[in-house]
Chain A
Amino acid sequence: MTTNVEFGASVDAAPPVLSVHGLAKRFGGVVALRDVSLELRPGEVHCLAGENGSGKSTLIKIISGAEFPDGGQIVVDGESRERMDTTSAIETGIQVIYQDFSLFPNLTVAENIVLTSAVAQRHKFHNARRARAQAKEIVEELQLDLDLDADVGNLSVANRQLTAICRAMISRARVIIMDEPTTALTHAEVTNLFVLVDKLRDRGVALLFVSHKLNEVLRISQRVTIMRSGAVVTAGPVEDFDIKSITKFMTGLDIDDVRTLPELSPEAEVRLEVVGLTLPGAFWDVNFQVRKGEILGITGLLGSGRTEIAESLFGIVPAERGTVRVDGESVAIGSIRDAVSAGIGYVPEDRLTQGLFLEKSIADNIVASSLSEHRTKWRVLDRRRIRATIDELFQKLHIQAPNAKAAVRTLSGGNAQRVVLAKWLATNPKILILNGPTVGVDVGSKAQILDLLREQARRGMAVIVISDDEPELVACCHRVLVVTKGRVSGELAGDDVSVETIQQSMAV
């Protein structure tokens, strides 16, 4: 471990702006953080890596004052304190840029940059001209190409991010924490961002990149801290790691890398055929087939059109042109009803708002989409059959709750996801489309959910998994389609499916 010694020596000169020691946090009975320590030095880019649910977001929330720790210390400029609140976090120069940026879509870029600091300084009046000049100053200083008078709602994701960074800088940020900064960006945009990051580093800003997508973030980071199940597994200079070792530290076991595919006979019939599917502005001329028992992955960057393709197949935003055939029969999908009666089920990306009735019980949620299949010949609901379906799925999916009467709101991410899955399995769909099936789910549940998909495929269901999580695609998909700018730009099948090949074809 000679590197550690060098590493210690080289940065001794710069004392940390912010450090945390031995942080602990519990939510109810669940341990979110255990003895977590982290140091941020001026002028460094620090990568905080970890799976979803590893405690990264809890740590950011504690640093930014949105949550209070149960134990441990936060040290700012050598001064130790037990907790941070939002106001003092901003005053000490800690700025968090969340994935949604928290910008106001109805205001201009200039206003977005200036308003927050004006609020912090308790201004009473607003001078549009002076505000614009202030915004212009920071934008020019950072040499950015931003239209100050454009509405933020009309900006690309990359430009929104730049706006958020300008907003942080105008509040004299010394620590900028960015949540998944590269996930939604194209290659060229990432390069732009990194040019800016270098400028910020020169000014002595400490940046903490929180990410589970590592290939890009590693390019620019100096140090890495890796978390797993609420604890720091390892930390050190970036040279000590490569993607493989980081992935191993993040997941513990390489469960995800095991490629296990349900058997697919070469003669299996085509379940779903999509020809020339087009929705101008979102995707164009999409063609693919999924056979009985096949798991097809669809991937692409955020905004590439992958979600829109799924939503059009499920009738949420119907496609304008193209043919969809289910079991060889052409079906017109103009609404969600059409899709459901054609045998298509959809597990949305944002299941908390789109997929579940949060206040209702697990049981009610499970049968919510399949009530019409649970009727007697008199067309009234068959209580006994409903009970049976609920019991079966509740057991089979290992939903962790005292019983099926618990409200869905009380469940963790992994368990909520299982309820959505159960809901669609209860309808017995021919085709199940899952958008980000394991986002926000811990590693153990992830493996179980993937197993469940494999089992459904084995029984003849055609499964489409939409995801940007490469290991997950590799773990369960027979084939992977890559969507770029609304078009299918590549297809990987059989042994060609690997994390590297997927990343390469997305990068084009």
Chain B
Amino acid sequence: MPSLRRLQGRNNEGTLLLVLIGLCVIMSLLNPVFFSINTAFSIMRSTTVPLILALAVLLVIISGGIDVSFPVVAIASAYTSVTLMLNFDFDYGVPVVFLMSACIGAVLGLINGVVIARFRLPTLIVTLATQGIFFGAMLTYVGSRYHPDLPPSMSRLSTVNVVNVVTSNGKAYLHVLVLLAVVVALLVWGLLKWTMFGRSLYAIGGDYEGARRAGFRVVRTQVLTYVLVGVIASLAGVAHIVMSRSANPQDLVGGELDIIAAVVLGGASIFGGRGSVLGTVLGVLLIQVINNSLLLVGVPGAWLRAAVGILLIVGIGIQTVSARRKARRVHSVEDAATPAGKEA
């Protein structure tokens, strides 16, 4: 049993991996086209932006909060950077675009964080409100125009691929920005595992009052979390604009539920204190594979939303039921009494 437990993972990552593999096997049997490098690359490409966003959300969810403003933060910071570059006609290269966007994202995140942590307001409500404020402010002050042409450095990047393979189904490309998702994932993983900041996120999410009593700097950590969310989201925003080869201020907005669903499916507890990068990666992949494969087997696109909804309920259901079982196991006296038999 213990080895099985280990495979299952702390947050059911193992189970998720099995489901994912099972799904791929079934899809490949149903439709041989699915089992190809082209599909794999296209899924990886479409996973890039959602994954970066999901990693941002993971941080907030572990700390026991929720953020619904991140898609707006992502698009607002990236779109603003692009608009500035086009209006003032400058282009110092892609790194500067990312940096500019990250700064705007950090400021927006700081606003979220300060309001939430200073005044101890419910995170959902605050981010719902700022989502509207940020979006409105962008449309009013930055503009609502669709930019079909990007600054040269960005449009050059949009055609760069890391891998080019010729297959029987034609050429398969893997976009370079997939690497950005990998780097962000590694950074967030390291942050959660190797820094006291990461551990405080878990502690605050596990027991806010307890963390305060233990001397964690709760307010600072929370503010910093939302700033980080803003920064990471803004990277996703730039990646999205580069990969879609145009800047549309209406993009990404409204997609927050899919991302949150993926994070929760990945084993992060909506009540805080639990979640892992691996789980989040698997959760995002699962949702992308389902989106992709349902279309391939001919399920109407309208059903995709329903499928994600069902998946979310199943995922949270499993999580909640197993947590409740565990709680009952602890309360039950038989368990509580056994350790006493051991000699200290």
Q: Which residues of A contact B340 (CB under 8 A)?
A: 156, 158, 185-189, 192
User: A104 and B207: CB pair below 8 A?
Assistant: yes
User: B196 and A106: CB pair below 8 A?
Assistant: no
A126 an interface residue at 8 Å Cβ cutoff? yes
The residue on A at minimum CB distance from B192 is A126
What range describes how many residues of A lie at the interface? 35 or more
Q: How far is the CB of B63 from chain A (nearest CB, A)?
A: 12
Q: Which residues of B contact A484 (CB under 8 A)?
A: 333
The digit string for B164-206, where 1 denotes a CB below 8 A from any CB of A, is 0000000000000000000000000000011111111011011
User: B334 and A485: CB pair below 8 A?
Assistant: yes
B side interface size, CB within 8 A: 42
Partner of B328, one of A125, A126, A156, A281: A281
B215 an interface residue at 8 Å Cβ cutoff? yes
Q: How far is the CB of B60 from chain A (nearest CB, A)?
A: 16
User: B333 and A104: CB pair below 8 A?
Assistant: no
Q: How far is the CA of A302 from the CA of B329 in the complex (A)?
A: 15
Partner of A303, one of B207, B215, B333: B333
Interface of chain B residues 18 through 33 with chain A (CB within 8 A): none
Q: How far is the CB of A145 from chain B (nearest CB, A)?
A: 5
Q: How far is the CA of A156 from the CA of B342 in the complex (A)?
A: 13
Q: Which residues of B contact A304 (CB under 8 A)?
A: 333
A196 an interface residue at 8 Å Cβ cutoff? yes
Q: Which residues of A contact B336 (CB under 8 A)?
A: 156-158, 186, 303
B214 an interface residue at 8 Å Cβ cutoff? yes
Partner of A102, one of B214, B327, B338, B344: B214
User: B203 and A104: CB pair below 8 A?
Assistant: yes
User: B273 and A106: CB pair below 8 A?
Assistant: yes
The digit string for A73-90, where 1 denotes a CB below 8 A from any CB of B, is 000000000000011001
B213 an interface residue at 8 Å Cβ cutoff? yes
User: A104 and B339: CB pair below 8 A?
Assistant: no
Q: How far is the CB of B300 from chain A (nearest CB, A)?
A: 40
Interface of chain B residues 97 through 116 with chain A (CB within 8 A): none
The residue on A at minimum CB distance from B209 is A102
Q: How far is the CB of B265 from chain A (nearest CB, A)?
A: 18
B135 an interface residue at 8 Å Cβ cutoff? no
The residue on A at minimum CB distance from B327 is A153
B341 an interface residue at 8 Å Cβ cutoff? yes
Partner of A154, one of B200, B326, B333, B341: B326
Q: How far is the CB of B168 from chain A (nearest CB, A)?
A: 46
User: B196 and A102: CB pair below 8 A?
Assistant: no
Q: Which residues of A contact B331 (CB under 8 A)?
A: 281-282, 303, 308
User: A126 and B273: CB pair below 8 A?
Assistant: no
User: B206 and A105: CB pair below 8 A?
Assistant: yes
Q: How far is the CB of B146 from chain A (nearest CB, A)?
A: 44
User: B202 and A106: CB pair below 8 A?
Assistant: yes
The digit string for A296-319, where 1 denotes a CB below 8 A from any CB of B, is 000000011100100000000000
User: B339 and A156: CB pair below 8 A?
Assistant: yes
A128 an interface residue at 8 Å Cβ cutoff? yes
Q: How far is the CB of A60 from chain B (nearest CB, A)?
A: 13
The digit string for A432-444, where 1 denotes a CB below 8 A from any CB of B, is 0000000000000
| A124 with B207, Cβ < 8 A, contacts A105-B273, A281-B329 known | no
Partner of A153, one of B203, B216, B326, B335: B326
Q: How far is the CA of A187 from the CA of B269 in the complex (A)?
A: 36
Q: How far is the CA of A116 from the CA of B338 in the complex (A)?
A: 29
| A145 with B206, Cβ < 8 A, contacts A126-B193, A486-B333 known | no
The residue on B at minimum CB distance from A118 is B196
User: A102 and B210: CB pair below 8 A?
Assistant: yes
A245 an interface residue at 8 Å Cβ cutoff? no
| A126 with B194, Cβ < 8 A, contacts A104-B202, A305-B333 known | yes
The residue on B at minimum CB distance from A143 is B344
| A156 with B335, Cβ < 8 A, contacts A104-B202, A106-B205 known | yes
A51 an interface residue at 8 Å Cβ cutoff? no
Q: How far is the CA of A485 from the CA of B273 in the complex (A)?
A: 31
A144 an interface residue at 8 Å Cβ cutoff? yes
B1 an interface residue at 8 Å Cβ cutoff? no
| A282 with B332, Cβ < 8 A, contacts A104-B202, A106-B274, A158-B339 known | yes
B330 an interface residue at 8 Å Cβ cutoff? yes
| A196 with B333, Cβ < 8 A, contacts A124-B195, A128-B193 known | no
Q: How far is the CA of A102 from the CA of B213 in the complex (A)?
A: 8
The digit string for B293-315, where 1 denotes a CB below 8 A from any CB of A, is 00000000000000000000000
User: B337 and A186: CB pair below 8 A?
Assistant: yes
A residues sitting closer than 8 Å to B (CB atoms) are 86-87, 90, 102-107, 111, 115-116, 118-120, 123-128, 143-145, 153-159, 162, 185-189, 192, 195-196, 281-282, 303-305, 308, 484-486
Q: Can you report 15 A-B residue pairs in the complex whose CB atoms are below 8 A from each other?
A: A102-B207, A102-B209, A107-B202, A107-B273, A115-B199, A115-B214, A119-B196, A119-B216, A123-B196, A124-B195, A153-B327, A187-B340, A192-B344, A282-B331, A303-B333
Top-9 shortest CB links A-B? A106-B273, A188-B340, A104-B206, A106-B206, A485-B333, A281-B332, A156-B336, A189-B340, A102-B210
B residues sitting closer than 8 Å to A (CB atoms) are 193-200, 202-203, 205-207, 209-211, 213-216, 269, 273-274, 326-344
17 further A-B pairs in the complex, CB-CB below 8 A; given A106-B274, A107-B206, A155-B330: A103-B207, A104-B202, A104-B207, A106-B269, A107-B199, A107-B202, A107-B273, A115-B214, A116-B215, A118-B196, A126-B199, A156-B338, A192-B340, A281-B328, A281-B332, A303-B331, A303-B333
